[in-house]
Amino acid sequence: MTAFKTTSPPAAKATGATLFWRTMWARAYPRIVGSLIRERSWLFFETVLPLAATVSYVFVYQAVGAPEEYVGFVVLGGAMTAFWLNILWAMASQLYWDKEGGNLEIYVLSPGPLMAILLGMAVGGFVMTVTRAAIILIVCSLAFSVTYTISSVPLLIAIFVLTMIALYGMGMMFAAVFLASGREAWHLANLLQEPIYLASGFYFPVRALGFWVAAASSLIPLTLGMDGMRQLLFAGDATLGFLSVEVEAIILLILSVFFLAAARFMLTKLEEIGRREGRLIERRR
Amino acid sequence: MSSTPLAIETHDVRRIYKIRGGKRKGEAKTLIALDGVSLEVPRGELFGLLGPNGAGKTTLIKILATLLLPSSGTAKVDGLDVTTQTQEVRRRISMVSGGETSGFGLLTVEENLWMFARFYGLDNKTIKSRLAEMMQMVGIYDRRSTKISDLSTGLRQKMNFIRGFISDPSVVFLDEPTLGLDVTAARDVRGFVKDWMAQNPDRTLLLTTHYMAEADELCDRLAIIDRGKTLICDTPENLKRRLQSETIFHLKIQPLRKPTSPENVVEAVPGVRSVTIADQTDFSELRLSLQGEEALPAVLSHLSGRGSGLLSLEKREPTLEDVFIQLVGRRLDEDTNLNGTGEER
Amino acid sequence: MTTLSPVRPEGERPMGFADRLLSLPFVQRSDALRSFILGAWLGWQIESNWADPLLFAVYSFARPIASVMILVVMYSVITDGATQQPIFAYIYLGNALYIIVGGVLGGISWAVIDDREHYRTAKQLYTSPLVGYAYLCGRGAARLLIGAISTIIVTVFGVLLFGIPITIGSIDLPFLIASIMLGLTSLSGLGLIIGAISFQLGRNAWQAGELISGALYLFTGALFPLDILPPVLREIGLIFPATYWLEAMRRALLGTNMIGFPTFAALDNTAIAFILLIMSVGLWVSAAFVYRWSMRQAREKGVIDLETNY
Ligand SMILES: Nc1ncnc2c1ncn2[C@@H]1O[C@H](COP(=O)(O)OP(=O)(O)OP(=O)(O)O)[C@@H](O)[C@H]1O
Ligand SMILES: [Mg+2]
């Protein structure tokens, strides 16, 4: 090796929001590269296959002679599964993976905030997620000629955005919970797949579960998010939502604040426990 | 930066692990990994931690690097408390371990390093120039576009080194940095460390190693720790000088017969201070530390009394290894855990 | 140095039943049998979860029941809960049986990726004198068994709660046994092919089995009769063994309570069994070729022990 000479200026290290931003995109980078460029099989796995699953549910409705708007319900639900799977697999269970790979230690060690790392994971997978959702939405809408009658565009956007904020906040919180539970993370992610599809009404209006079940499910942001969007997208008799869209928007706002705060709190706690107990953060087997 | 001249300062640091996995319930065991370690490392020093497996070196480094909390005692890095001023400490430090697997296999060397640098808030321009410079320095510039899944252990470790130094840390922790490296790569790594210290006289580096020669070559001062306690802390020269009054011989002998009685052992021969025996396939190696040369004939007659002939004999200057043996009571490559520290499993 | 403890502590049989199997003389002579048993044993250790209530709840209960309940709710919303209609039994059973299809199709590719990315034992496995495909089949068999348990739970749940008309009288036992044997053989042939191919894929193959079986939902008549599909898509269903297997199982379990659809009207039980037999042979022969090819490729590319880690 040649002698060490520091010709370049001493490293200026950003803090605060800039550090957050840089950390987030840095962690997103491997995902973007990984999923989009170097592993092309993603396109198949992530779009064609879930698309087929959604279509199956459409046919089930057709087999039992359901009214038109139910096709639209399924299509929207099928598209939204993409976001749910994104937070489960790309975020909540990912800290565990990073621990196994030996990276978590370095995240913790660096000044970059863990929340930025987590958001980075989700952002990196987001392109894929959105593509997947969009393909399901577009292909199914065309194939089954779903008709949308949008009653309020601003409200629709507001509901969608709030749902996303609350959802990703929840994902960060789950990441801490999953890692802390000491279980292999995908067991938990698995537990939250079909049961949540059922409870949140991905394939039918959540009202069908009865008030109390629907109310309990509303803790999952997608429940009210989908119910609200369905009310705004399809104007039909069967569309009667669980709550009014405005109320749902307010609840989603509360959920957003709650989940982000909870995530922050739990990640801090997690790090603290990890440092105290000498596990959680590092890979030990 | 704070005004204290001490870069690392620990005061009576203890660390107790809870051991899980006792098959039966209620079997909550604990393990004392650090048992009151107090160290002071001034800024600008290259400080070494030496100790057998399980001595507590990694535990200490992890505490200093904010990955682990001390069970009691205080530890400061750059004058900042590692327990409470975590974030400030993190901005100033970095850690590289031997055999570390961090990074993303499908990204290139350059991409991985860029990513890690961003975690420290560096801007792209700085990263770019520093990266190029450092990659050239350690000799992986021409491999910068290789995916790290395709790197050899040595190249990977060079990359880890860049990761550790790119953020221009004021205190660096190296945990067995040459683990698994071949002679050349290890030399490169040591060269890098020395250069960096020479170029940045106000930076501090704490290193653990199992290689005596490495510690001797690199460290300004070193501490020998065993079973969670510091046995001694001094410069390599002073440590070796301690043994000047002793005479050290290395002997190769034919295998020894079992002693006829517990008293009839080499240690019992008058003038013998300490002895270690390593059995090879068809001979044994003896390391003798004597009060003076005049004790040698008695040892040789003891050996032949036990049916062993002398194959070779060599008088030696004391090395760090000898210091270690004298303090720890066994060689560096013998495991602490076999001597019953209450190890897990 | 202390002495090493004996490989197997006195009085302890760490592998229990599998251990006894492995000591049988004819097993000791066959690498393939040994590999299969070891694979199945390992698979069972990894996947079985009787000891762990949470895992049992997740895999054998919560997930399968939830996915069938989605269909029950969808059905009830539209029909006001008329679960005694034969179409309900059709949907319900199809979904219950599909758990096995998913397990068999995805089990092997799951094992490949699991060994490689999670346990990181691929290196050790494929450098040992195990017979790779036999080992993988063993892993798959363990998963099949676990899937079968869920199917039984879900089916019993359906009979008790929703009155699915399976009775002693409705079951055609000989045909049921034949269907199970032939169906599972053909499906595992396909599973082995998917597993072999997943050696070439990175971590995305994690969910390959799940996703593929999700997609096949559409074509195999699991959730709705093939007659609902546009004619072109209907033809696709006819090339998959799962399609025939589901039909055979429904007939064997429901007997005359089974709702008939035109697609399969022309095929009697023997014909369906025969089709499954042909498919089994064809798929196993292809699996052998694909496996060989894939291992060659994997060694050439050096991806047998790939760890993508991103
Ligand atoms: N997370 C942990 N939980 C329980 N025990 C631990 C943990 N980490 C380390 N130990 C134990 O603490 C003791 C000190 O370990 P440490 O890793 O600090 O030793 P070391 O000096 O770095 O050894 P080596 O030279 O082998 O790297 C050992 O007995 C070890 O088994
Ligand atoms: Mg160590």
CA dist., res. A107 & res. B189, Å (int): 24
Comparing A227 with B325, the larger pLDDT belongs to A227
- As a whole number, mean pLDDT of residues C136-146 equals 89
Q: Which two tokens stand for residue A273?
A: 């426990």
Three-state secondary-structure class, residue B34: strand
Question: Does A194 lie at the interface with C, CB-CB under 8 angstroms?
Answer: yes
CA distance B201 to C259: 85
Question: How many A from CA of B336 to the centre of ligand 2?
Answer: 12
CB of B31 closer than 6 angstroms to any ligand 1 atom: yes
Question: What's at B151, amino acid-wise?
Answer: L
Instruction: Measure B210 CA to ligand 2 centroid, in angstroms.
Output: 9
What is the residue type of A6? Answer: T
Check pocket membership of B57 for ligand 1, CB cut-off 6 A.
Answer: yes
C193 pLDDT tier (thresholds 50, 70, 90): very high
More confident residue, B188 or A45: B188
Q: What is the Cα–Cα distance from C228 to C266, expressed in whole angstroms?
A: 18
- What is residue A142's predicted lDDT score, i.e. its pLDDT? 94
Q: Is A36 on the interface with C (CB under 8 A)?
A: no
Cβ distance A29 to B136 less than 8 Å, yes or no, reads: no
Report for A23-32, B38-47, C233-242: range of highest mean pLDDT: B38-47
Cα B113 from Cα B314, distance rounded (Å): 49
* CB B33 near ligand 1, within 6 Å: yes
Beta bridge partners of B13: B37
Contact C108, C191 (CB under 8 A): yes
Q: Decide: residue C51, CB within 10 A, 0-12 exposed, 13-18 middle, 19+ buried.
A: exposed
Q: What is the nearest CA distance from C307 to chain B, expressed in angstroms?
A: 7
Q: Is the CB of B79 under 6 A from ligand 1?
A: no
Residue C301 phi, psi (nearest 5): -85, -10
Against chain B, the chains showing at least 3 CB pairs within 8 Å are: A, C
Tokens of A128: 């894929």
For residue A5, what pLDDT is reported? 58
Write down the ipTM of this complex. Answer: 0.86
Choice from A99, A279, A283 to test ligand 1 binding pocket (greatest atom count within 8 A of CB): A279
Which of the residue ranges B148-152, C8-12, C110-114, C157-161 has the most confident prediction, judged by mean pLDDT? C157-161
Whether A29 contacts chain C with CB within 8 A:
no
Share of chain C above pLDDT 90, in %: 28
Do A129 and A50 touch, CB atoms closer than 8 A?
no
Q: How far lies B40's CA from each of B7, B16, B59, B84, in Å?
A: 8, 22, 17, 19
User: Nearest CA to B68 among B1, B14, B120, B7?
Assistant: B14
Query: Which ligand 1 atom lies nearest to the CA of residue B343?
Result: 29
Among the listed residues C240, B247, B315, B66, the one whose alpha carbon sits nearest the alpha carbon of residue A110 = B66
Alpha carbons A106 and B86: distance in angstroms, whole number? 14
Would you state the pLDDT for residue C281?
A: 96
8 Å CB contact between C116 and C136: no
pLDDT band of residue B24 (cuts 50, 70, 90) is: low
DSSP secondary structure string, A208-269? GG-HHHHHHHTTSHHHHHHHHHHHHH--SGGG--SS-HHHHHHHHHHHHHHHHHHHHHHHHH
Crossing angle for the helix pair B109-119 and B124-138, to the nearest 10 degrees: 130
Report the C-alpha gap between A242 and A255 in whole angstroms: 17
| Predicted pLDDT at A26 | 93
Provide the phi-psi class of C166: left if phi over 0, else alpha when psi is between -120 and 50, else beta.
beta
Q: Which residues contact B128 (CB under 8 A, 6 or more apart)?
A: none
- What are the pLDDT digits (tens) for B281-290? 788 888 888 8
* Cα distance from N-terminal residue to C-terminal residue, chain A: 36
Q: What percent of chain A has pLDDT over 90?
A: 48
Of all residues in chain A, the percent with pLDDT exceeding 70 is 88
Identify which has the larger pLDDT, C181 or B275: C181
Note the ligand closest to the C-alpha atom of B32: 1
Q: In angstroms, what separates the C-alpha of C30 from chain A's closest C-alpha?
A: 33
- Rg over CA atoms, chain B: 23
pLDDT attached to residue A122 = 83
pLDDT tens-digit readout, B235-271: 988 888 777 767 788 888 888 777 777 777 888 888 8
In the predicted structure, residue B23 carries a pLDDT above the cut 60 = no
Residue A82 to residue A136: CA distance in whole angstroms:
9
pLDDT at A254 over 60: yes
Three-state secondary structure call for residue B32: strand
Confidence of residue A228 (pLDDT cuts 50, 70, 90): very high
B105/C307 CB distance under 8 A: yes
Closest by CA position to A24, among listed A122, A91, A171: A122
Secondary element (H or E) of residue C188:
helix C173-198
Q: Are C110 and C209 in contact (CB under 8 A)?
A: yes
Determine the residue among B106, B108, B333 to mutate to test chain C binding: the one whose Cβ has the most chain C Cβ atoms within 10 Å: B106
Q: What is the pLDDT of residues C238-295, one digit of tens each?
A: 899 999 999 999 999 988 777 777 778 888 899 999 999 999 999 999 999 999 999 8
pLDDT at C105: 86
Distance CA B298, CA B315 (A): 16
Domain ranges of chain C: 33-301
Which among C69, C87, C201 is the nearest to A63, CB-wise?
Answer: C87
pLDDT of residue A15: 80
- Of A227 and A5, the structure prediction assigns the larger pLDDT to A227
pLDDT of residue B344: 33
Of how many residues is chain C composed?
Answer: 310
Tell me the pLDDT tens digit for each residue of C1-16.
Answer: 344 444 444 444 555 6
> A159 pairs with which residues across the strands?
none
Q: pLDDT tier at B211 (50, 70, 90 boundaries)?
A: confident
pLDDT at A32 over 90: no
Check residue A41 and give its pLDDT: 63
> What is this structure's pTM?
0.79
| Average pLDDT score over chain C | 83
Per-residue pLDDT at B334: 55
Which pLDDT score is estimated for C1? 39
The pLDDT assigned to C176 comes to 94
**Residue A96's closest chain C neighbor by CA?**
C118
Cβ pair A48:C228 closer than 8 A: no
Q: What is the mean pLDDT of residues A195-200?
A: 94
- B48 CB near ligand 1 (under 6 Å): no
Q: What are phi and psi of B175, to 5 degrees?
A: -100, 105
- B16 C-beta closer than 6 A to ligand 1: no
pLDDT at C210 over 70: no
User: Tell me, what amino acid is at B47?
Assistant: F
Q: Which residue has the tokens 């399924």?
A: A74
Cβ of B338 under 8 Å from any chain C Cβ? yes
Give the residues across from B74 on adjacent strands.
B11
Ligand 2 center from residue A17 Cα (angstroms): 36
Do A151 and A97 contact (CB within 8 A), yes or no? no
- Count the Cβ atoms, other than its own, within 10 Å of residue A50: 23
Q: Does B278 touch chain C (CB under 8 A)?
A: no
Cβ contact A278:B68 at 8 Å: yes
Average of per-residue pLDDT values in chain B: 85
Least confident of A49-53, B118-122, B192-196, C44-48: C44-48
Distance in angstroms (rounded) separating the CA atoms of residues C187 and C191: 6
Q: How many DSSP H helices and E strands does chain C contain?
A: 14, 0
- DSSP string of B223-236, one letter each residue: EEEETTEEEEEE-H
Residue A167 near residue A87, CB atoms below 8 Å:
yes
Identify which has the larger pLDDT, C104 or C47.
C104
Dist. CA B58–CA B47, nearest whole Å = 14
What is the rounded distance in angstroms from the CA atom of residue B334 to the CA atom of residue B133? 41
Token pair listed for C207: 């969910």
**Tell me: the pLDDT tens digits for A86-133?**
888 888 888 888 887 789 989 999 999 999 999 998 888 777 788 889
Alpha carbon of B17 to ligand 2 centroid (Å):
15
Question: What's the whole-number mean pLDDT along residues C154-175?
Answer: 90
Among candidate residues B150, B156, B202, the one with its CA nearest the CA of residue B178: B156
**Is the CB–ligand 1 distance for residue A279 below 6 Å?**
yes
pLDDT band for position C74 (cuts 50, 70, 90): very high
Atom 26 (ligand 1): residue with closest C-alpha? B53
Q: Which residues of C touch B105 (CB under 8 A)?
A: 307-310
3-state secondary structure (DSSP) of residue B41: strand
